[in-house]
Amino acid sequence: MDDHIHLHNTAADCPPPGGFCRTHELNIQLLAALYAVSRALSRSLDFKDTLHEVLRVLHDEAGLTRGLISVVDPESGKLAIRTIYTPDGHIADDAQYGPGEGIIGLILEKPRTIKLARVADEPRFLNRSGVYAGELPFIAVPIKVGGNLQGVLAVQPEGPEDGLIEERAQFVEMVANLIGQNLRLSLEVEQEKSSLVEERDLLRRTVRHQFGFDSMVGRSAVMRRVFEQARLVAKWNTTVLIRGETGTGKELIANAIHYNSPRARNALVKLNCAALPENLLESELFGHERGAFTGAVESRKGRFEQANGGTLFLDEIGEISPAFQAKLLRVLQEGEFERVGGSRTVKVDVRIIAATHRDLEAAVDMGDFREDLFYRLNVMPLYLPPLRERIEDIPEIARHLLAKIGNDQKRKLTVTDLAQRRLASHDWPGNVRELENCLERAAVLSEDGRIDVDLIRFPSSRERSASKIPRAPTGPAPEAPPPGPAEVDINDPALSERDRVIAALEQAGWVQAKAARILGMTPRQIAYRIQTLNIEVKQF
């Protein structure tokens, strides 16, 4: 290529003292242009935007036209034209140059500056982009990032070669260096962005997998219906009330609803209403202003504000006092509240999912739960039946839980048929949570990962009925039934309410309707008492 390069003796060109030489004039012009280029590049990190602006500056201020910037495509390794600037407009072309193809391809082969006094004289000139003027000079320089070729900057001076191509080429090299630095920055930003996005998407997928509907198993008809209803209600903002005994999967369903809803990108905030005394519950939910109470040294957002745009899961909603029910009702009705100790009204957009193991209808009857709040919450009720009412789900749930436990223990766990049968015969008052604990215990006790019937143990023997449990023939004979209940005066003021209800039940032979009559209650009321007083119902 060297035969095409004009090395120019600039000193010979200079006019006598008193006037500027042409070189000097050009350098001043190019310095101003360089300044404009650096400003264009610093304006934005959006590379595509700035490239075109750089080419415009080269045209308007440096007399370098038909600018072309092509960038190496990381996949094909070819140079793809990103942007071309001609005096009559901006042309974007898809032309690609491989190594050795055309003049620009020469740079791919060996990164270097190419200077041609008249481009048409160069046999390898392809003019693939169709924009070059053959009679004009041509300058192409590599754009490098950290020593690696990332692209090519090519221009044509707007007039025929005037002996100053060397100065112009140096200037184009400086511009290419600036572009390279800018490209490195924007590549780094791009990379960081995409790795953040990747990380976020991975997290989201994991969360969705962990809390999506596939984390819940159960093929019984009741559970299939619950899943179907939950899936349907997930996509709306409808308030959901999840009912069911403790350990039946209420929280799991709440997760699945949130993570399958349009709010999945926003927060799912949880609060167990039974876990906090009332005054704390209020500031926890609504937040507080500074100085609202002793210890409130900073103002704080409550769970409602944290859940803005997302979902608030209120667990054990049946446990809140009537005074607190009234406060909650207002937020549910108006979507607004004040922080504790504050006067500013806060507005929020929150989807509510509530859960309780209580019989709320009975609580309403008893005057313990506000009817209006009940109706506010009970828009879409979902009922999770106790495990003992869906024993056909036990094998599958057990397998699912064992896979989870096995994953933690990094080994494969299996369960024998006999053990499965024992699982199916248990009453599971603690439902799936109890099953989970039972299996974890068994897994810990198992040396080889096989869980046989002897490892299935229940800490409190609350099995459903003696006849269903396989007993060793040599074992002790079943206990004789306890002697008949001693007569207790249910009106004895010394009796606690719990004892009074138990006494009535004993007298009624555990027939609830009969016990209710003894106590002067409705069957619903006694059912509620049995639940709230945690009375274990005997079944005969």
Cα–Cα distance, 483 to 86 (Å, whole number):
106
Query: How many beta carbons lie within 10 A of that of residue 52, not counting itself?
Result: 18
Residue 244 touching ligand ADP (CB under 6 A): yes
Nearer to ligand ADP, 71 or 402 (CB): 402
Which span sits near Mg ion by CB under 5 A: 74-82, 246-254, 330-338, 506-514? 246-254
Asked if residue 288 lies in contact with residue 342, where contact means CB atoms within 8 angstroms, the answer is yes
Identify the three-state secondary structure at position 415: strand
Nearer to ligand ADP, 151 or 218 (CB): 218
Least Å from the CB of residue 317 to Mg ion: 11
Residue 436 touching Mg ion (CB under 5 A): no
**Which of the listed partners (ligand ADP, Mg ion, none) does 397 bind, with a CB threshold of 5 to 8 Å by partner kind?**
ligand ADP
Asked if residue 528 lies in contact with residue 357, where contact means CB atoms within 8 angstroms, the answer is no
Cα–Cα distance, 92 to 83 (Å, whole number):
5
Nearer to Mg ion, 429 or 449 (CB): 429
Strand partners for 336 = 347
**Which of the listed partners (Mg ion, ligand ADP, none) does 244 bind, with a CB threshold of 5 to 8 Å by partner kind?**
ligand ADP
Phi-psi region of 438 (alpha: psi -120 to 50; beta: other; left: phi over 0): alpha
Write the DSSP assignment of 142-207 as a string of letters: EEEETTEEEEEEEEEESSS--S-HHHHHHHHHHHHHHHHHHHHHHHHHHHHHHHHHHHHHHHHHHH
Least Å from the CB of residue 388 to Mg ion: 18
Residues 416-435 that bind ligand ADP (CB under 6 A): 432-433
Cα–Cα distance, 419 to 421 (Å, whole number):
5
Residue 251 touching Mg ion (CB under 5 A): yes
Nearer to Mg ion, 102 or 244 (CB): 244
Residues 202-231 that bind ligand ADP (CB under 6 A): 216-218
Q: Of residues 53, 161, 282, 436, which one binds ligand ADP by CB under 6 A?
A: 436
Residue 247 touching ligand ADP (CB under 6 A): yes
Query: How many beta carbons lie within 10 A of that of residue 337, not counting itself?
Result: 22
Residues 386-405 that bind ligand ADP (CB under 6 A): 397, 400
**Which of the listed partners (ligand ADP, Mg ion, none) does 434 bind, with a CB threshold of 5 to 8 Å by partner kind?**
none
Least Å from the CB of residue 315 to ligand ADP: 7
**Which of the listed partners (ligand ADP, Mg ion, none) does 249 bind, with a CB threshold of 5 to 8 Å by partner kind?**
ligand ADP
Pairing of strands 138-145, 345-347: unpaired
Residue number of the CB atom closest to Mg ion: 251
Nearer to ligand ADP, 157 or 244 (CB): 244
Least Å from the CB of residue 252 to Mg ion: 9
Which span sits near Mg ion by CB under 5 A: 155-163, 248-256, 321-329, 398-406? 248-256
The residue among 244, 316, 304, 218 whose CA lies nearest residue 269 is 304
What b/e string do you get for 375-401 counting C-beta neighbours within 10 Å, with b at 16 or more?
ebbbebebebbbbbebeebbbebbbbb
Asked if residue 227 lies in contact with residue 216, where contact means CB atoms within 8 angstroms, the answer is yes
SS (H, E, C) 107-119: HHHCCCCEEECCH
Least Å from the CB of residue 270 to ligand ADP: 10
For ligand ADP, the binding residues (CB under 6 A) are 216-218, 244, 246-252, 397, 400, 432-433, 436
For Mg ion, the binding residues (CB under 5 A) are 251
